[in-house]
Structure 1
Amino acid sequence: MNVVVLGAGAVGCYLGAVLSNQHSVTLIGREKLVNEFNQNKRLQLTDYEGRNSDFCELTVTDQPDSLAAADLILLTVKCLSVHEAAHQIQAFAADTTPVLCLQNGIGSDDMLRHLNNPIIRGTVGFNVAPMGRGVFHRGTEGDVRAEASLPQHIADSLNLAFLSMGFPFSTTRDFEALQWAKLQLNLNNAINALSDKPLKQELETLGYRRVLSMAMSELMAIVRQERIRLPKLTKLPPSWIPLSLRIPDSWFRKVASSMLAIDPQARSSMWEDLNNQRMTEIDYLNGAVVRAGRDVGIPTPVNRVLVRLIKEIESGRRQPGLSSEELLHEIRHPTY
């Protein structure tokens, strides 16, 4: 199978490199990626469990015309780049080529609906960080999932390849529920970016967890009203997670260690964006909760504040590095 990864950032490079063991893979990314690959002659994947593997049999380019030969397109651009990617797919790819969309949050796939290609939505449940010199590090556990409309032979092939690096691939017939369950976990991206701390350190601080618990509770109120039953993505049911976040730090460390394996230095993708002075996906994460709450008449003040704070950093009006006390103060005394 000829797989083309469009938008090969950290996640795209990681997935594409793993697939290159069994398939012909082309990564379409920025010029920086092309230069790194040409200089190092490989991509190196590491993870929190100690894996360390080199992958050399890839084609890396910044030109989208490689889409013409694709049997499967993995779309791994950020949400803000989906519109441009749709034009590239329309210009170069065959109409019959499936597009597996692996964006965070809710709403970005709307920009692909005018394409004739089969559009399959998916989620990536782990964090990948670029370490430089063609090295990409997976810092948390998780899996990759997609809508059941993905052809079965492709799903089986992806699962076989991904299991070789310690994570499974599966499909679901209720992707909307999966999307909201993934969003529940991703609401922490903004808090992690605001804290300017590694994920593990941030999550081991009760004040940050209280904010996350409140943000998640707003989402849970929306899905209850909409009668969406969230699947379990961690060892705790989704409805228990906001409560578990409020327990004392010493207890939480014990609970969290059984819930989610995480590298001590892992950070959220939103932290990566702000650290590199890029616009974030906040409108598709916490912003999606705000929009959904407005549609069904449920207040979402905590997520509204998180959206505002991230946008203030994006515009240069605020610096990251809020303490948990400062963040709680912003939540309790919002200014609009």
Structure 2
Amino acid sequence: MSTWVQDVEDISRETKTPGLTGRVHIIGLGNAGTFIAHSLASRQSPPPITLLMHQASFYHAFRRKKRSLAVNYNGLDDNRTGFDVEVLHDKVWHRIPSKDEQLEANEDPDVLESAEDVPEEEGHIECLIVCCKSYMTEKVIRGVRHRLSPDSTILFIQNGLGIIEKLNKEIFPDEKSRPNYMQGVLSHGLKKQDSYKVGHVNVGSLILSPVVTGQTPLIEAEKDTHWAPTTKYLLRLLTLTPSLVATADTPAGILQYQLERLAVGCVLGSLGAIHDCKNRELLHNFPVSRTMRLLLLEISSVICALPELRGIPGIEDRFSPERLRRLILNVASNRPEDTSSIRNDLHYQRNTEIDFLNGWIVKRGEELGMKCVLNYMIQQLVLSRMYIINHREASAVPIDFDNVILSGDKSKDD
């Protein structure tokens, strides 16, 4: 297996762009981010990896884990260390020295109580892997906007669609200053077990592809695709990382995988959140089945009419309502105890990804002249449920525990 150093040298020589460092920055250490960072660190020759954390508390929790990430395979923990860390404080990134660097400088690693104690880090970011929630993407990219350039490559591994279009509109309106984009679809079965620790439930894959922007047919647009050196390096690095089981696909190919996952999220994710239930409770439920069929009629109509997929054979069959229904039922049957991420976000009073799921179907449907009224209703039901939960929590009367007398207790005045 080639080393990352050799990959950097080969790509620098091929593209005549010396100066690549090969460093990979990762934002979002949920299940996907933790697994990818751990997998890169597990290579025989791991590249330099920097974990970007938006709060000092995240780093303190990471330090309590001895600055390690863990993946549990078949009941056994595999711990990996050697990560560099940067923490955001007052809109400035600060690099936390590794434990080895601190010991060499005769510093106590436990004295770093806040990001104010460490030097600023404003270096250029070559390769950035974004694994945070879709609704957080714009915020986190703004935090590193000044460190990105047209030579940078951003890989998005997230649920939903429409994220890149939003970034282009809000942050990168100028095509000449825009970084390069890649997207990935991760199908490994992962389950969070602890902070910075995930369980590997079943083997999947990571499908990768550079992004072709615009709504022209992808089978025509991808012919003229020119890959940046950082894109080539990141794609080679990930596909040669064994535990990721990563493969490269065309933009048209990966979009179809994304649309299948979108359909699953629009149905299982949204209905699971509205009904506040697990996947198994949506099975063999006639009212849910009727709702599912009506949702899929709209979803299928929008997908089959997308101009990006024009000219690709088999689209009508692959995204027919019946095939999507079987796909969704298969996911729910194989993962009966899973709960949707939207339901979890509502439980913890966080924003949801509904605008990038059913909301995306509504938006693209309007562009195509279709009224997706049922998907619009589902989107509004999730948003209204979030509003009710937040309003209920905000209006709760706090209890003054200091003045509560428990039954059986007697005051001093008695």
Give the TM-score category using the shorter length.
Answer: 0.7 to 0.9
Per the alignment, residue 258 of structure 2 pairs with: 179
The alpha carbon displacement at 1:34 in A equals 1.9
Letter in 1 for 2:59: V
CA distance in 2, matches of 1:142, 1:15: 13
TM-score (normalizing by structure 1): 0.75
Contact 2:125–2:147 (Cα < 8 Å) also in 1? no
Letter in 2 for 1:37: F
1:267 matched to 2:329: no
CA distance in 1, matches of 2:201, 2:289: 20
Contact 1:9–1:29 (Cα < 8 Å) also in 2? no
1:12 matched to 2:12: no
SS class of match (1:164): helix
Distance change in 2, residues 1:78/1:54 (3 Å): same
- Listed as ranges, the matches of 1:211-222 within 5 Å are 211-222=291-302
Letter in 2 for 1:244: R
1:107 matched to 2:162: yes
- 369, 383, 387: which one aligns with 1:311: 383
CA distance in 1, matches of 2:76, 2:285: 32
CA distance in 2, matches of 1:93, 1:24: 18
CA distance in 2, matches of 1:155, 1:116: 19
Per the alignment, residue 47 of structure 2 pairs with: 23
1:160 matched to 2:240: yes
Contact 1:37–1:60 (Cα < 8 Å) also in 2? no
CA distance in 1, matches of 2:72, 2:348: 22
Q: Which runs of 5+ in 1 are unaligned?
A: 247-251, 320-336
Higher relative contact order (CA 8 A, sep 6+): 1
- Listed as ranges, the matches of 1:138-157 within 5 Å are 138=200, 142-148=204-210, 149=227, 151-157=231-237
CA distance in 2, matches of 1:36, 1:23: 24
Per the alignment, residue 114 of structure 2 pairs with: none
* Cα deviation digits, residues 75-106 of structure 1 (max 9, x gap): 22322222222322322245422111223222
Letter in 2 for 1:185: V
Letter in 1 for 2:71: L
1:43 matched to 2:69: yes
Alpha-carbon RMSD across the aligned residues, in angstroms, is: 3.4
Contact 1:67–1:93 (Cα < 8 Å) also in 2? no
Identity %: 19
**Larger Cα Rg: Structure 1 or Structure 2?**
2
The alpha carbon displacement at 1:285 in A equals 0.6
CA distance in 2, matches of 1:93, 1:289: 30
Contact 1:79–1:104 (Cα < 8 Å) also in 2? yes
* Cα deviation digits, residues 168-206 of structure 1 (max 9, x gap): 33232315444323312221211222233333x245343
Contact 1:184–1:219 (Cα < 8 Å) also in 2? yes
The alpha carbon displacement at 1:215 in A equals 1.9
Letter in 1 for 2:326: S
- Listed as ranges, the matches of 1:293-304 within 5 Å are 293-304=365-376
Compare 72-81 and 294-303 and name the one that shifted more: 294-303
- 181, 189, 206: which one aligns with 2:269: 189
Letter in 2 for 1:100: L
TM-score (normalizing by structure 2): 0.63
Contact 2:346–2:389 (Cα < 8 Å) also in 1? no
- 339, 349, 356: which one aligns with 1:277: 349
Letter in 1 for 2:134: C
1:76 matched to 2:131: yes
Matched pairs, number: 302
The alpha carbon displacement at 1:221 in A equals 0.8
Distance change in 2, residues 1:9/1:294 (3 Å): same
